[in-house]
Amino acid sequence: MNPVNYLYLAALLFTIGAAGVLIRRNAIVVFMCIELMLNACNLTLVAFSRMHGNLDGQIIAFFVMVVAAAEVVVGLAIIVSLFRSRHSASVDDASLMKL
Amino acid sequence: MENLIALLIAAPLLGAVVLLCGGRRLDRTGHWLGTALAGASFLIGVVLFAGMLGESADERTLHQRLFSWIPVEGFQADIAFQLDQLSMTFVLLITGVGTLIHIYSIGYMEHDERRRRFFGYLNLFLSAMLLLVLADNYLLLYFGWEGVGLASYLLIGFWQHKPSAATAAKKAFLVNRVGDIGLSIAIMLMFTTFGTFAFGPVLGSVGETGEGTLTAIGLMLLLAACGKSAQVPLQSWLGDAMEGPTPVSALIHAATMVTAGVYLIVRSGAIFNAAPDAQLVVVVVGAVTLLFGAVVGCAKDDIKKALAGSTMSQIGYMILAAGLGPIGYVFAIMHLVTHGFFKAGLFLGAGSVMHGMNDEVDMRKYGGLRKHMPITFVTFGLGYLAIIGFPGLSGFFSKDKIIESAFAKGGAEGWILGAVTLLGAAITAFYMTRVMLMTFFGEKRWQPDAEGHEPHPHESPRSMTIPMIVLAFGSVFAGGFFGIGDRFLNWLEPVTGYDHGHAPISAATVTTATVVVLLIGVGVAWLMYGRRPVPVLAPRGSLLTRAARRDLYQDDINHAVLVRGGEHLTRSLVYVDHTLVDGVVNGTAASVGGLSGRLRKMQNGYARSYAVSMFGGTAVLIAATLLMRAV
């Protein structure tokens, strides 16, 4: 199969993730969309690695996964404590600006 | 010998410091100290004069350099003195008349509780005036120039509890300031042109300088002279300066300080000789002022203001003579010295009259005082004969020489100037005769004042009459001593130079004409004030009389042009400031405020909108990068 198709898929996934971050209010969903974008990037890296016959991209994909796992831990902790104090997981409710 | 020069200045300066800082414990002895130090300065002057006479005419100039005042690379100002024949003449006049007036003030200011301070100021004046005439560079001269201005201000306003005196002092100071700006600009011009302001280098290198620059310097020096010497257009302060105690009027506003302008012009003679345009302006100023002062002097009923008008007019003569160039320098200074004697004498006489008349200054309330004050009458009378130029007395010799010099200028200019000086001589004779007749002749016109005290005119104490007698001697004999055998001319010529000019008419004709106009002036005054009684209340008078009583509207003109003009200028400046400058500043602030108000809306706290801008920005960046690649 032509590896370029993986790139199309990755672009589609990234766009879905970005749209989710911009549109959805629920912090959990926004968070999952960020993961989706990260994984789209991973897919791109692996695809390029395959296309160029070079292992660098796969190695970076592992790094990204590690960082994403760490991020999930911190991010979920923040969301949980936010929900406890505000009884809402909406990202818009977290604004404290006086407009 | 030259080490004595600094002592001339130091003696009165010491007096000023001790008297002004010494406090009340000097109240009983201070006036003696002040007088003694003025006298000491005079004695030093006499010693120096005797030493100078021993030298030959070309080696009479002495220099003393005390210390470097402002030592900066390319800008050298020294405290250094130069004593030549011109300075010597002034030193003797200043210290001599100054000492006499100190003695006079002991009696005149006897009942004033601030007498010690008065003598301190007088000493301060003497030291500043001596500094002015002894300086060997223009910057130090400027220092003395400001010093006499300060002393004049302090002394005019000495009776500061009188609002009129305080105002007069401020007026004198402000008007003088206009002239001082001229002097400072002249000094700056000299520095940029010659790179120095010492007399020797500046006056020596005049030949290598363009006439335009010299004319500018000359005009600025003239402006300075106009301020200090009360010449048109800066004349308005002198009449009001008579608010000061009479010895001050005699010393500062008749004999010495007001002649500083003449000194400045004669000292800078080399500059004026090379700038005929500036000279012409000097002559015009002198001619206008000599008529202006004379006309004002004719109408004033206040004896001191009449004498002030006369001072202005006589200094006009000197300025005119100084403007004639080498023809007139010597005679300007000669008239200055004789004028110093007789005008100081006249003022002291006026002070003596006021002393006996409960400080009344209105001549219409005098009359017949010759029986009550014989010594004052005789000394004042001799001063009177000297100032009108009665043949044989001081004023005759000096004024006659100036009239001759005016004719000797040659051409139409010479005729006009000669006519003006002759006319001035006639008016001088008229107004001085008027003063004399109204004060000492006729019937007594004084009345009890508001509290019922009738004045009892009496002769003044001896401390006051002796200086008057000495000055009367000077008024009688100085002119003859200077004039006969050209003594004064030979004495000053090495410094100022001399030129005969081209006299269109003989000296004898001029002298005859002078005597004739003198007799006409005296005769007219006698017809108006001697033959018929003087009314106690001033009659309304003709248009000219009324104008002259108001000093030919000098204050009205100043008010209309300068005060109103200044007010309008400041008002429009304030308007521009409020609308334009404030408008720009406030507008900028408002637009920045408005813009940031809009921009603030972008910081709304919604994480998603920040994310939109991040995504948008990234998209734009990527698009731009791709576009650049494609191109």
Q: At a CB cut-off of 8 Å and minimum separation 6, what does B33 contact? A: B15, B18, B19, B26, B119
State which residue of chain A sits closest to B598, comparing Cα positions.
A99
The nearest CA of chain B is from the CA of A97 a distance in Å of 5
Tokens linked to A52: 């160029």
Residues of chain A with C-beta less than 8 angstroms from the C-beta of B608: 21-23, 25, 91-92
For the stretch B179-214, pLDDT in tens is 999 999 999 999 999 988 899 899 988 888 889 999
Contact A22 B612 (CB under 8 A): yes
Q: Is the pLDDT of residue A67 over 90?
A: yes
Residues of chain A with C-beta less than 8 angstroms from the C-beta of B603: 97
CA distance linking residue B343 with residue B97, whole number of Å: 11
Residues of chain B with C-beta less than 8 angstroms from the C-beta of A94: 607
Inform me whether the C-beta atom of residue B611 falls under 8 Å from chain A C-beta atoms: yes
- Whether omega before B233 lies within 30 degrees of 0, making that bond cis, reads yes
Q: Using CB atoms, which residue from B603, B611, B615 is nearest to A97?
A: B603
CA distance linking residue B154 with residue B495, whole number of Å: 34
Inform me whether the C-beta atom of residue B608 falls under 8 Å from chain A C-beta atoms: yes
Its pTM stands at: 0.81
Q: Are B430 and B518 in contact (CB under 8 A)?
A: no
pLDDT for the residue numbered B330:
93
Q: Are B107 and B460 in contact (CB under 8 A)?
A: yes
Q: Using CB atoms, which residue from B605, B608, B611 is nearest to A97?
A: B605
Residues of chain B with C-beta less than 8 angstroms from the C-beta of A25: 608
Contact A97 B612 (CB under 8 A): no
CA distance linking residue A21 with residue B613, whole number of Å: 12
Residue numbers in chain B where pLDDT is lower than 50 = none
Helical residues (DSSP H) of B459-581, grouped into ranges: 462-483, 487-496, 507-525, 543-549, 554-558, 564-576
pLDDT for the residue numbered B538:
83
Nearest to B357 by CA among B277, B459, B428: B459
Q: At a CB cut-off of 8 Å and minimum separation 6, what does A50 contact? A: A3, A6, A57
Q: Using CB atoms, which residue from B603, B608, B612 is nearest to A91?
A: B608
Inform me whether the C-beta atom of residue B598 falls under 8 Å from chain A C-beta atoms: no
Domain limits, chain A: 26-86
For the stretch B525-542, pLDDT in tens is 999 988 888 888 888 888
Instruction: Check residue B452 and give left, alpha or beta (phi > 0: left; psi -120 to 50: alpha).
Output: left
Q: At a CB cut-off of 8 Å and minimum separation 6, what does B46 contact? A: B92
The nearest CA of chain A is from the CA of B615 a distance in Å of 8
Confidence of residue A98 (pLDDT cuts 50, 70, 90): low
Residues of chain A with C-beta less than 8 angstroms from the C-beta of B615: 18, 22
State which residue of chain A sits closest to B613, comparing Cα positions.
A22
State which residue of chain B sits closest to A23, comparing Cα positions.
B608
Inform me whether the C-beta atom of residue B610 falls under 8 Å from chain A C-beta atoms: no
Element (H or E) spanning A11, and its range?
Answer: helix A4-23
Confidence of residue A88 (pLDDT cuts 50, 70, 90): confident
CA distance linking residue B310 with residue B329, whole number of Å: 21
Element (H or E) spanning B419, and its range?
Answer: helix B411-440
Which comes out higher in pLDDT, residue B586 or A98? B586
pLDDT for the residue numbered B540:
84
The nearest CA of chain B is from the CA of A91 a distance in Å of 7
